[in-house]
Structure 1
Amino acid sequence: MAKVAFLGLGVMGYPMAGHLVAAGHEVCVYNRTTAKAEKWAAEFGGRFATTPREAAQGCEFVMSCVGNDDDLRAVCLGDDGAFSGMSAGSVFVDHTTVSAKVTRELYAAAKDLGISFVDAPISGGQAGAENGILSVMCGGDEDAYAHAEPVIDAYARTCRRLGESGSGQLTKMVNQICIAGLVQGLAEGLHFAEKAGLDGRAVVDVISGGAAGSWQMLNRYETMIDDEFEHGFAVDWMRKDLGICLDTADENGASLPVTALVDQFYKDVQKLGGARWDTSSLIKRLRAMG
């Protein structure tokens, strides 16, 4: 069992850190809002710290799950950053969805300090985090990944190294690109069923076991039919992720016309007041159009 720090206790990080305790690891958490770290410590029996540096001191592994590139830099760098508290030979594992650019930047900064850095973005949503069945896609040095993988296993169903630093983030971009198209297709299909006077639940019951079936269909069709979106992965976060995808496509020459279109559809959802609605709220946009 290992001494582990976990930085960031959002809807994903909070249960992930709890799974580390359940697996027998000694865990110290940090959160920008200290009250949430105190609550987590009271619930799971771990410790909390008031700075990333304090949380990281003496730990073999430091995990993070924060908001964006700037948030990640903030918890890693500076006098109060985790890197300043980590010892040579320790491993930083980042579960945030960020750009491959910041990942490689921090990988290099960590390497200069004798620290390993593994980019390990996650997929599976809040339910996956709570149930410890996330998909984890990793990039970084082979030996660092091999060292960290047994710890990551506490909340993963699937964990795999895809290549050198940044490969995990690039794989997460593929994940988000695929989801964008799937959700828009599902929204259009259910909207069409409504307009055609069909029973949407009966339709999904028939088609979900065939070629049209997907995780999105199985897990989101009922709430989409019921016009309920106060759950799941927020539109604001999806637009952040798709922005990363589109910026990276500009750099590597990939063509993402559907992704760019769906990103604009999500912008429409934001204008409807749905910034914090689940990503399946694309159907709300279609209903608003009549």
Structure 2
Amino acid sequence: MPLGTVFKNVFDMFRERSDVRFPKHSGSNSSIFDELKSSPANPVGNPANELFCKDLTKAGALLEKSAQEVVSGCDITFSCVSDPDALKELVFGKNGVLKGISNGKGFVDMSTVDVTTTRHIYDAVTSAGGNFLHAPVCGNKQLASEGQLVILASGDRSLYDDCFTCFEAMSKKWFFLGEIGNGTKMALIMSIIQANMLGALAESLVLADKSGLDQDHVIQVLRHTTANCELLSSKGNGKRNNQSY
């Protein structure tokens, strides 16, 4: 999901209760803006960037020049980027997160990345005296805008407890799953379950078509059986409207 959209939605939900800081685009932390390029706000490398930042600062956010400055000025910092390389650059790059970490600082990353990367960052942050929590999410753009994500956290338990109000604003349910990396494992398991469910739905609709049954009838019947769920219902509606999976 586009980070720009998620950030604006989340910011609207808890700006009244949190000190929000946002890193200004610069070469040292450009990776955090990789996902923003696909946002409707299109804030990177063009005049829309100024408008995007002005809207946030007008609403109460503080604009900083780098990830280091954001972390230095906040007790707890949240991040969400596109992939492991972007996260490593954000944390270990020049003027990155690690440069701003000191005793008692909390860093929460919500990116979907591999266990090895997560553990590497956990070791680096804790060695610098900080606390680290990895908290990937289950959900999509619409659920993010509605504050209905599911958060799968692992790492520092005390930091997890400190994030209660932020998690409350962003999600409908949040879990602490123990040692670092367990959140990633759980997210993978959830993805496998969802993929299998969608695969079964797709195969069933093809079978219905080959058997001479109306696919719309299959979806209508499904809604009234124990196999029905929000995922299959929404994808079934998408199929009826000629949308792709």
| TM-score of the superposed pair, with normalisation by structure 2 | 0.82
Once the two structures are TM-superposed, the CA of residue 36 in structure 1 deviates from its matched residue by 4.7
What is aligned with 2:176? 161
Aligned length: 222
Offset from partner CA, 1:228-247 (integer Å, 9 cap, x none): 24xxxxxxxxxxxxxxxxxx
Letter in 1 for 2:232: M
Q: 2:71 aligns with which of 36, 45, 56?
A: 56
**AA matched with 2:128:** L
Aligned mate of 1:177, from 189, 192, 211: 192
Q: Go from structure 1 to structure 2 and tell me whether the alpha carbon gap of 1:42 and 1:225 turns closer, same or farther (over 3 Å shift).
A: same
Q: What is the one-letter code of the residue matched to 1:126?
A: K
Secondary structure of the corresponding residue to residue 128 of structure 1: helix
Q: Give the CA deviation at 1:127.
A: 0.9
Taking the aligned partners of 2:49 and 2:78, their CA distance within structure 1 comes to 17
Which structure has more RCO (C-alpha within 8 Å, separation ≥ 6)? 2
SS in structure 1 of the partner of residue 151 of structure 2:
strand
Whole-angstrom distance in 2 between the partners of 1:140 and 1:78: 22
User: How do 1:45-124 residues align onto structure 2 when only pairs under 5 Å count?
Assistant: 45=59, 46-124=61-139
The equivalent of 1:39 in structure 2 is 52
**What amino acid is the match of 1:90?**
K
- Alignment partner for residue 19 of structure 1, among 6, 13, 30? 13
| 1:75 Cα deviation from its structure 2 partner | 1.1
1:29 is matched with which residue: 5, 14, 22? 22
**1:219 aligned partner:** 234
Counterparts in 2 of 1:110 and 1:57: CA distance versus 1, 3 Å: same
CA distance in structure 1 between the aligned counterparts of 2:3 and 2:169, rounded to whole angstroms: 16
The residue type paired with residue 12 of structure 1 is V
Q: Is the 8 A contact 1:12 1:125 kept in 2?
A: no
Question: Post-superposition shift, 1:58?
Answer: 1.1
- Normalised to the residue count of structure 1, the TM-score between the two structures is 0.70
- 1:190–1:145 distance in 2 versus 1, CA, 3 Å: same
Query: Which residue identity is paired with 1:19?
Result: M
After TM superposition, give the deviation of residue 70 of structure 1 in Å: 0.7
Counterpart Cα distance in 2 of 1:170 and 1:207: 30
The whole-number CA distance in structure 1 between the counterparts of 2:51 and 2:67 is 15
Unaligned runs of 5+ in 1: 1-7, 230-279, 281-290
Distance change in 2, residues 1:221/1:101 (3 Å): same
State the one-letter code of the partner of 1:166: G
Partner of 2:132, secondary structure, is strand
1:137 equivalent in alignment to 2:152: yes
CA offsets 1:118-165 (integer angstroms, 9 cap, x no match): 010001111110000110001012212111233222111000101111
Note the alpha carbon deviations across 1:4-63, whole angstroms, 9 max, x for none.
Answer: xxxx83443442333231x52121223523655851650571233342222223111111
- Structure 2 residue 215 is matched with structure 1 residue 200: yes
**2 CA distance for matches of 1:142 and 1:159?**
13
Aligned residue for 1:57, secondary structure, equals helix
| Among 135, 151, 167, the residue aligned to 1:152 | 167
Return 164-173 or 213-222, whichever deviates more. 213-222
